[in-house]
């Protein structure tokens, strides 16, 4: 497993897909999803130039970050956020929380941020695949969700996030990404004072499709670091 070589190979693929999509590769941010991997792997990744780190568990993220030799430029939280973990998550000052799908969580997050005198960038997670197991709001509820989310003064909406359908059927995956893009455009049209610029979509097996459909933030784990081993 050579992280630097994997990173280079993915960079080439991102460049090719971006060219196909008619966008600049530099407009696409690659996040290194380091969940389940030890601190040494994160240090190696950051040294190789993967400076944006993403984790999906609050406990794991907050344990690993203080142990790093190389500090990441950005810390992203991409997992389900339980409201009793909010304080802990905020202690590492995440640059972006991708996985907001409950107004009740936003409300608690906002209260805590007010106390701390901080603002927080977030994405709204949409369940575009209609799979019950997936987090994210129903696409039909998206506009209502914004209407409620925009009232929280310390919350800064920055865009949308989704996980593509878990299937080998490329069209099904592509439709998920198309739907997220459509929702983004709809939101931009209605809310000119909110920034919906980020489309976080695309993982190891589908990031090229995601780029073709407008992704500008990719969350890649196994293609960089190999298979995950769960204890």
Contact residues for ligand PLP (CB under 6 A)? 33, 35, 56, 78, 163, 203-205, 219-223
Which pair of tokens denotes residue 113? 């941020």
Q: What's the distance, CA 196 to chain centroid?
A: 14
As measured in angstroms, the least distance from the Cβ of 49 to ligand PLP is 18
Residue found under tokens 């780029």: 211
As measured in angstroms, the least distance from the Cβ of 163 to ligand PLP is 6
**Other Cβ atoms within 10 Å of 141 Cβ, number:** 13
- Of 189 and 231, the one with the shorter C-beta distance to ligand PLP is 231
Answer for the pair 162, 135: CB distance below 8 angstroms, yes or no: no
Which pair of tokens denotes residue 164? 């593509």
Residue found under tokens 């690659």: 30
- Of 33 and 149, the one with the shorter C-beta distance to ligand PLP is 33
Pairing of β 155-161 and β 29-33: unpaired
> Which is nearest to 184 in space by CA: 163, 155, 208, 213?
213
- Of 56 and 120, the one with the shorter C-beta distance to ligand PLP is 56
As measured in angstroms, the least distance from the Cβ of 68 to ligand PLP is 19
- Of 188 and 223, the one with the shorter C-beta distance to ligand PLP is 223
As measured in angstroms, the least distance from the Cβ of 225 to ligand PLP is 8
Please report the sign of the dihedral spanned by the C-alpha atoms of residue 99, residue 65, residue 53, residue 156. Answer: positive
- Of 51 and 204, the one with the shorter C-beta distance to ligand PLP is 204
As measured in angstroms, the least distance from the Cβ of 185 to ligand PLP is 23
């Amino acid at each position: 497993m050579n992280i630097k070589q994997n990173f280079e190979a993915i960079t080439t693929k991102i460049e090719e897909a971006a060219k196909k999509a008619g966008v600049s590769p530099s407009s696409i941010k690659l996040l290194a999803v380091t969940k389940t991997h030890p601190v040494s792997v994160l240090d190696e990744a950051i040294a190789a130039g993967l400076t944006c780190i993403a984790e999906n568990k609050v406990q794991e993220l907050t344990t690993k970050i203080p142990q790093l030799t190389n500090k990441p430029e950005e810390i992203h939280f991409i997992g389900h956020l339980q409201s009793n973990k909010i304080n802990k998550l905020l202690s590492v000052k995440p640059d972006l929380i991708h996985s907001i799908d409950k107004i009740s969580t936003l409300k608690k997050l906002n209260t805590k941020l007010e106390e701390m005198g901080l603002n927080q960038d977030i994405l709204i997670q949409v369940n575009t695949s209609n799979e019950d197991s997936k987090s994210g709001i129903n696409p039909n509820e998206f506009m209502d969700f914004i209407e409620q989310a925009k009232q929280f003064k310390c919350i800064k909406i920055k865009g949308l996030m989704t996980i593509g359908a878990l299937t080998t059927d490329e069209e099904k995956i592509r439709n998920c990404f198309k739907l997220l893009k459509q929702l983004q455009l709809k939101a931009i049209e209605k809310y000119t004072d909110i920034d919906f610029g980020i489309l976080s979509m695309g993982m190891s097996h589908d990031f090229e499709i995601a780029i073709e459909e407008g992704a500008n933030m990719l969350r890649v784990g196994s293609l960089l670091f190999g298979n995950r081993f769960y204890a």
